[in-house]
């Protein structure tokens, strides 16, 4: 990272600029930050033209040239080979699972280890494992958490039918009112697919029930605690909201399906597994008794999170440098991928978490 035109600012402003850039790089790269060089290209050029070593040193250009020369002489070839190995490995993974692909991947992996050993200070490479290979596959062919996807499908199918019954059936409207309606999350999901006419037909029963309770409580001398408790009883909870019950049931079904796949064919299931979000990974690991599979799942998640983080870093750097046209599809989608990995799909995320046993 090079900051030019240091000759246009005083020492205090220069140090402030360097500190700011280093803080930004620290937030993006953590421990693997690139070196930062402060230079004056104009002073450096003048020092070269006049053969003035003092001005050349003061310009910072000499140190930058030494660093570039060291890279060209000792590191460029290794870096090129290392990155080429990564590209070859990605292409092999796209070919699918086979004995021949596995053999070629192992050869590429061995070559990367040799390159790492030749430049131990430059490359920090860990041998590829089944979990890391599965993570690369999941990253290149990113599929959102399959547990979230199953919940979303089941919830939409239920809500599609239920909103019609709620708009047309007085009995359903009464039951809905007695339960306190939906929870806050699912109320807005209902609103997103229901028509204004359907909502106006469905919700008067609930609003009238709430109005009656407030009318009865108004003349009484209720304490703040009594009012809070009464309102809490009126509102829907994770156990009374009908869509929450559908969500929990479908979540249990999807978790059981994933656990069954992992138990029956671990390696194949690991490679075909979607990008499980952390919310469901926690629930998934709670029901795994295979320590080796647990280890591979954690390794896979680590590789997947790191790869998405790298895509986000590259996107951020290109965007800030006005090189947005150079961003790849993976980099452009990295922000959404990160959110999906952390908390799952937005329509599935709940304001509470309910622990349960499959």
DSSP state letters, 274-287: -B--HHHHHHHHTT
For 321-336, what is each residue's pLDDT tens digit?
666 666 677 778 888 8
pLDDT of residue 357: 37
Residue with tokens 């599929």: 143
DSSP letter at 6 equals G
pLDDT of residue 129: 52
pLDDT of residue 73: 66
pLDDT of residue 124: 44
pLDDT of residue 304: 83
In this prediction the pTM is: 0.59
Residues of the chain falling short of pLDDT 70: 29-32, 73-76, 90, 93-94, 96-98, 113, 115-141, 265-269, 320-327, 349-358
pLDDT of residue 117: 63
Beta-carbon count within 10 A of 34 CB: 10
The tokens for 330 are 């993976």
- Alpha-carbon gap, residue 330 to 190, rounded angstroms: 33
Q: Are 30 and 66 in contact (CB under 8 A)?
A: no
- Alpha-carbon gap, residue 347 to 339, rounded angstroms: 13
Residue with tokens 């570039």: 68
């Amino acid at each position: 990272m090079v900051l030019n035109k240091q000759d246009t600012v005083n020492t205090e402003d220069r140090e402030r600029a360097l500190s700011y850039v280093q803080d930004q790089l620290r937030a993006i790269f953590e421990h693997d930050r690139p070196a930062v060089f402060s230079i004056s290209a104009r002073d450096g050029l003048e020092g070269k033209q006049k053969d003035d070593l003092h001005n050349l040193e003061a310009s910072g250009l000499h140190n930058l040239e030494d660093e570039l020369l060291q890279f060209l002489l000792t590191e460029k070839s290794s870096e090129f080979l290392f990155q080429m190995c990564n590209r070859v490995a990605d292409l092999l993974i796209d070919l699918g699972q086979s004995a021949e692909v596995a053999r070629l991947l192992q050869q590429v992996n061995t070559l990367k280890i040799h390159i790492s050993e030749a430049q131990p200070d430059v490359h920090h490479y860990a041998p590829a494992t089944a979990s890391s290979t599965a993570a690369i596959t999941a990253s290149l062919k990113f599929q959102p958490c399959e547990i979230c996807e199953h919940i979303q499908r089941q919830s939409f199918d239920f809500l599609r039918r239920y909103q019609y019954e709620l708009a047309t059936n007085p009995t359903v409207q009464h039951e809905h009112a007695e339960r306190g309606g939906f929870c806050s999350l699912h109320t807005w999901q209902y609103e997103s697919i229901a028509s204004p006419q359907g909502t106006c037909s469905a919700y008067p029963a609930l609003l009238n029930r709430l109005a009656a309770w407030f009318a009865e409580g108004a003349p009484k001398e209720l304490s703040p605690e009594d009012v809070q408790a009464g309102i809490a009883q009126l509102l829907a909870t994770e156990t009374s909201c009908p869509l929450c019950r559908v969500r929990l049931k479908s979540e249990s079904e999807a978790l059981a399906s994933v656990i069954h796949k992992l138990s029956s064919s671990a390696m194949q299931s690991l490679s075909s597994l979607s990008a499980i979000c952390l919310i469901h990974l926690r629930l998934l690991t709670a029901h795994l008794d295979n320590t080796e599979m647990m280890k591979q799942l954690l390794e896979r998640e680590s590789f997947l999170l790191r790869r998405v983080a790298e895509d986000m870093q590259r996107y951020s750097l290109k965007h800030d440098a006005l090189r947005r046209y150079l961003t790849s599809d993976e980099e452009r989608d990295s922000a959404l991928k990160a959110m999906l990995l952390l908390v799952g799909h937005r329509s599935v995320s709940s304001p509470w978490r309910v622990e349960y046993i499959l």
